[in-house]
Amino acid sequence: MAHSVSSVEASKSFGRISRQALESPLTITHHGHDSLVLMSHADYQRLKSRDRELLSFGDFSEEDRAAVASARPPVEAANFDDELRDH
């Protein structure tokens, strides 16, 4: 089963393509570049419901918390230090 189709193929075979997208998301390409994703309404709703999902401290495992605590910003982040200074 293909995971991507051209926009021409999607246009010519929309019925078949839409049935495929009900099983798993399908990328539609335009001139060889990823352009759109066709997916089931259930998949869309599942993704959309996470847009504003709030997590609290208790939602993270000890391992997650330790990883955040030990994380260090990349050297390039120093380029933004002046944004924290009083002007």
Q: What is the pLDDT of residues 49-66, one digit of tens each?
A: 888 778 888 999 999 999
Residue 16 lies in a domain: yes
CATH number at 28 reads 3.40.1620.10
Confidence at residue 71, expressed as pLDDT on a 0 to 100 scale? 95
Residue 25 lies in a domain: yes
Residue 82 lies in a domain: no
Domain range for 31: 4-71
* Residue from 42, 25, 23, 43 nearest 34 by CA: 25
Confidence at residue 81, expressed as pLDDT on a 0 to 100 scale? 87
Number of structural domains the chain divides into: 1
Residue 26 lies in a domain: yes
Q: What is the mean pLDDT of each run of 10 residues along the chain (87 residues)?
A: 87 95 96 96 91 86 94 92 80
What's the predicted TM-score (pTM) here? 0.57
Residue 80 lies in a domain: no
